[in-house]
Amino acid sequence: MADQPLLTADDVHLSFGETRALQGASLHVYGGEVLALMGPSGSGKSTLLHCLAGILTPESGSIRYGDRDMATMSDSDRSTLRRGEFGFVFQFGQLVPELTCQENVALPLRLAGAGRREAHRQAASWLDRLEVPDVAAKRPGQVSGGQGQRVAVARALVTRPKVIFADEPTGALDSLNGELVMKLFIAAAKETGAAVVLVTHEPRVAAYSDREAVVRDGRVREQEPAR
């Protein structure tokens, strides 16, 4: 694991109207680790994940990626960062319904400039690793929730991102496939030095992580990294 954090949240505050979702949340995420964000429903886990990913901007406090302050980046720099260096597995609406599952997985590579043939070859290989090669030609509406979730995981990993953000990535999966997805996240962290930040309610899933951080009332209590 790297010495310097890859991502740092420092005293982050964010409200939705009267709801104070984050009230001084601080967190460090290191390259090469799988970090599980746990905590009660409504405690601010997803909001924190969205702030770390540069999707939401805190009202106060800072989010740094390496030595860059996300708040001072332009919208277009933030989207370039998200597209080029981050991978996402979110609960809802992540696959493009008009594209086949293989085209969905190939899409981030195509957006990054890869040729069609190469993008499709890599997409097929990731669908194999996620053990859903048979859904390649189907559209997301024609596959089960669990298959769709594995396609979304393949799409997040295909570009070998530096940070993978996952919100309940195993929620629609049975325990065997949940385990498969967690092992692929761990492999991504260990092979490429990626950081994996995942929100989960399941202690069984968190048990695969290197470290846990508990979010409660918009604040974080994080385990010390093992050194």
Ligand X SMILES: Nc1ncnc2c1ncn2[C@@H]1O[C@H](COP(=O)(O)OP(=O)(O)OP(=O)(O)O)[C@@H](O)[C@H]1O
Give the binding site for ligand X (CB under 6 A).
16, 19, 21, 39, 41-47
Nearer to ligand X, 16 or 92 (CB): 16
Nearer to ligand X, 45 or 211 (CB): 45
Nearer to ligand X, 17 or 141 (CB): 17
Distances (CA, A) of 216 to 33, 122, 148, 166, 168: 22, 40, 31, 19, 17
Least CB distance to ligand X at residue 204 (A): 16
Nearer to ligand X, 57 or 192 (CB): 57
Least CB distance to ligand X at residue 142 (A): 28
Least CB distance to ligand X at residue 43 (A): 4
Nearer to ligand X, 42 or 203 (CB): 42
> Nearest Cα to 223, choosing from 38, 15, 45?
38
> Nearest Cα to 163, choosing from 194, 188, 187?
194
Least CB distance to ligand X at residue 166 (A): 12
Least CB distance to ligand X at residue 39 (A): 6
